[in-house]
């Protein structure tokens, strides 16, 4: 199975924002959010802090023309996403990462019930 990038997996999602109010791309917001959540950050303030801490790294593959979005932007955008579209894209992306061969892998699972991830998404940590 071929691994899919975040921008490819989530590029088709409907952007709930009005065009004239978009200072940050949806892919930038989703990429920072997903990375932060995988690293254990749990709220919008934490996601913003994570983004600012890792900004130099994110700039290697994200445009970030207006810097890291604020916690209010993360809150607004993530709460307005279509939960079914997001869940479907997230599940497909995670499945694309599971390219298993003859290796032993440790798996730890968590259920993420954040208000903006309705009806909830399972998070897997794989080593």
Each residue's pLDDT tens digit, 87-116: 999 988 888 877 655 555 666 666 666 555
Q: How far apart are CA 124 and CA 104, in angstroms?
A: 16
Residue 127 pLDDT more than 80? Answer: no
Neighbour tally for 59: CB within 10 Å: 12
Q: What is the mean pLDDT of residues 60-78?
A: 96
Indicate if the pLDDT at residue 70 is higher than 70.
yes
Q: Are 75 and 113 in contact (CB under 8 A)?
A: no
pLDDT digits (tens, 9 = 90+) for 1-48: 455 788 899 999 999 998 887 999 999 999 999 999 989 898 999 999
Burial of 96 (0-12, 13-18, 19+ CB in 10 A): middle
Count the neighbouring beta carbons within 10 Å of the beta carbon of residue 114.
14
- Using alpha carbons only, what angle is made at residue 75 by residues 51 and 122, rounded to the nearest 5 degrees? 80
What local confidence, expressed as pLDDT, does residue 119 receive? Answer: 60
Model-level pTM?
0.76
What is the average per-residue pLDDT within 39-66? 95
């Amino acid at each position: 199975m071929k691994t899919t990038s975040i921008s490819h997996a989530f590029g088709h999602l409907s952007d709930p924002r009005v065009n004239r109010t978009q200072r940050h791309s949806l892919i930038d917001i989703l990429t920072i959010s997903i990375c932060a959540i995988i690293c254990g950050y749990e709220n919008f303030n934490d996601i913003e802090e994570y983004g600012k801490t890792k900004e130099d790294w994110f700039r290697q593959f994200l445009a970030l023309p207006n810097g890291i979005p604020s916690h209010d932007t993360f809150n607004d955008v993530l709460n307005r996403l279509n939960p079914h579209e997001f869940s479907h894209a997230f599940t497909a992306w995670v499945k694309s990462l599971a390219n298993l061969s003859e290796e032993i892998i440790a798996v730890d699972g968590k259920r993420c019930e954040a208000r903006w991830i309705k009806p909830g998404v399972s998070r897997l940590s794989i080593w």
